[in-house]
Amino acid sequence: MKVLEFEYFDSSDESVDSYFDGNCWSRPYEYKKVEDFLKEHIVKESKVHNTSWGFVGTHVMFKETLDNMPFETLHTDIKPSNLENTDVYDITKKPKEEWVEAFDAVINISTVEEVRFDHVTIIKNLLSMVKPGGYLAITFDLPGLQLKNVEDMVGQKIKDCESRLSGASSKYKNTRYDHLNCGCLFIQK
């Protein structure tokens, strides 16, 4: 396992305005970073598993973006959906046997920290679905992520930045989330 990025988002990072729904201060940054990562690392006809929860609003826009990329994407949530290319999966559980080491990339956008469960176990569940040589890309809010445990798991501290992205520093300000920062962890298996 090789950690490619483990860092806070900076408020100067690139974002995509179309992902702003009037509320989501971090999604335009998170989706942009993951899209760019996939474009750089994932080749045509690869298989990607989007394990992010919430098939409404800006999440559907991101789903549609992924569905239009030159690879096959499966989208999962804990609730069933009638949208194409979707299935049910709870990230606190081990994946279906046919999903183990079946994906070139597994992504999870700002969900892990929302789950009252051991975050290292969740990350290991997600990583188990990645083919050898493939990638896991997750984003998260802090506080929220069990940071010390994740740092111990990956063997390094999260990298800080000049101006941490928060609800206050975001281009898409939302003072309700002034206390949160956003980070990412990208791993090659």
Q: How many separate domains does the chain show?
A: 1
Cα(182)–Cα(186) distance, integer angstroms: 14
Region of 73 (left: φ > 0; alpha: ψ -120 to 50; beta: rest) is beta
Tens-place pLDDT, residues 86-139: 999 999 999 999 999 999 999 999 999 999 999 999 999 999 999 999 999 999
Provide the residue type at 93 as one letter: K
Counting residues of the chain whose pLDDT is more than 90, the rounded percentage is 94
Q: pTM for this structure?
A: 0.96
The pLDDT of residue 55 is: 75
Structural domain that includes position 100: 2-188
Tens-place pLDDT, residues 166-182: 999 999 999 999 999 99
> What is each CA distance from 160 to 5, 9, 58, 171, in whole angstroms?
11, 8, 27, 19
Cα(186)–Cα(135) distance, integer angstroms: 7
Q: Where are the beta strands (DSSP E) in 38-175?
A: 47-50, 72-77, 86-88, 103-109, 130-142
Angle, vertex CA 27, rays to CA 130 and CA 187, nearest 5: 25
The pLDDT of residue 23 is: 86
Strands 2-8 and 47-50: unpaired
Provide the residue type at 124 as one letter: K
pLDDT over threshold 80, residue 28: yes
State the DSSP H helix or E strand holding residue 188, giving kind and residue range, or none if neither: strand 181-188
What is the number of helices (H) and of strands (E) in the chain?
4, 7
The pLDDT of residue 54 is: 76
| 60's tokens | 């559907």
Tens-place pLDDT, residues 35-93: 999 999 999 999 999 998 777 889 999 999 999 999 999 999 999 999 999 999 999 99
Cα(168)–Cα(149) distance, integer angstroms: 27
| CATH label of the domain that carries residue 97 | 3.40.50.150
